[in-house]
Chains A and B, each alone.
Chain A
Amino acid sequence: MIEDTGIVVAFWVLAVVTVGAAGMVILARNLIHAVLFLVLSFVGIAGLYITLSADFVAVVQVLIYAGAISVLMLFAIMLTPLADRGNTGGVFQAPAIVLAALMAGTIAFVALDTDWNNVTRAAPSDTPAIIGEALLDPFVLPFEIASVLLVAAMIGAILLVREE
């Protein structure tokens, strides 16, 4: 399935869209445009999940990232109206470029140096069912901790922005 031409074309298109949108998040002059490019990047990653036949994670990605987190970011920008709307850089630009280039080089080297074995088994069909069972059987404790963490984060966020 992974060798289908359609899948390959879809992968490259989605990869270019995702990486290009991520680059535009850096380059966009207006912060709101940067958020919109971030949404495009998130949707591209959701498409990449679909090419990996991870449909449940793709749906979660669209719902949480492209839906919730981007709206949250737009709210944060709107709620700080007097702050600088520009997307300018700070004092650490040059060292940050060097560090990011080093990191990208290392990852690219490892990726090219690794001897990738091709996928032999078939893609899993009903991922939501398997993920649901995994969440409630071997991963119950992390699952419950995640729910407690979400409640704590929600209460914390409400407390932080509450008017005195």
Chain B
Amino acid sequence: MYLVLAKRNAVAILMGIELMLNAVNLTLVTFSRFIDISDPQRQLDGHVFAVFVITVAAAEAAVALALAVAVYRHRETIDVNRINLLKW
């Protein structure tokens, strides 16, 4: 979380996001191990959810890194403190 809020390089911020998503995935899988459901078909719902999170994280990483490269083409920087086009 510190990584996301305090880093200047956009790629470093993305690394922080990935780390947080990993933590969430780990808790999902752990709780799916702990939870008490008798039906064996439903015991792994946490795993399924973690797989979905991984999918969405991959899509997000692809788009965000493409955005970083696109911004770099225009501004020659990916320093988030200097990307202030929306500020007036």
Give the residues from 61 to 94 in chain A that come closer than 8 angstroms, CB to CB, to chain B: 61, 64-65, 68-69, 72-73, 75-77, 79-80, 82-84, 86-93
Known: A83-B77, A156-B63. A57 touches B41 (CB 8 A): no
- Assess whether A69 is in contact with B58, with CB atoms less than 8 Å apart: yes
> Quick check: is B1 within 8 A (CB to CB) of the other chain?
yes
Query: Do A139 and B48 have beta carbons less than 8 Å apart?
Result: yes
Residue in A48, A69, A91, A158 whose beta carbon sits within 8 Å of that of B57 in the complex? A69
Interface size class of A (residues with CB under 8 A): 35 or more
Whether A91 and B29, one on each chain, are in contact in the complex, defined by CB atoms closer than 8 angstroms, is no
Could you tell me if A153 and B69 are in contact, using CB atoms closer than 8 angstroms?
no
Task: Summarize A's interface: helix, strand, loop or mixed.
Answer: helix
List CB contacts (< 8 Å) of A131-163 with chain B.
131, 133-135, 139, 142, 146, 149-150, 152-154, 156-158, 160-161
Q: Is B59 an interface residue (CB 8 A)?
A: yes
CB A115 to nearest CB in B, in angstroms, measures 12
B78:A80 contact, CB within 8 angstroms: yes
A34–B12 touching, CB < 8 Å: yes
Number of residues from B at the complex interface, CB < 8 A: 60
How far, in Å, is B19 (CB) from chain A's closest CB? Answer: 6
Smallest distance from the beta carbon of B46 to chain A beta carbons, Å? 8
**Which single member of B8, B16, B45, B62 contacts A84 (CB below 8 Å)?**
B8
Shortest Cβ gap from B70 to chain A (Å): 5
Contact with A along B3-21 (1 / 0, CB 8 A): 1111111011011101100
Instruction: Report the separation of the CA atoms of residues A72 and B59 in the bound assembly, to the nearest whole angstrom.
Output: 11
Q: Supply 9 A–B pairs (Cβ within 8 Å), ascending by A.
A: A76-B69, A79-B72, A90-B8, A124-B40, A124-B43, A130-B44, A134-B48, A146-B52, A153-B62
Interface residues, chain A, with chain B CB atoms under 8 Å away: 22, 25-26, 31, 34-35, 38, 41-42, 45, 48-49, 52-54, 56-57, 60-61, 64-65, 68-69, 72-73, 75-77, 79-80, 82-84, 86-93, 95-97, 99-100, 103, 116-117, 119-121, 123-124, 127, 130-131, 133-135, 139, 142, 146, 149-150, 152-154, 156-158, 160-161
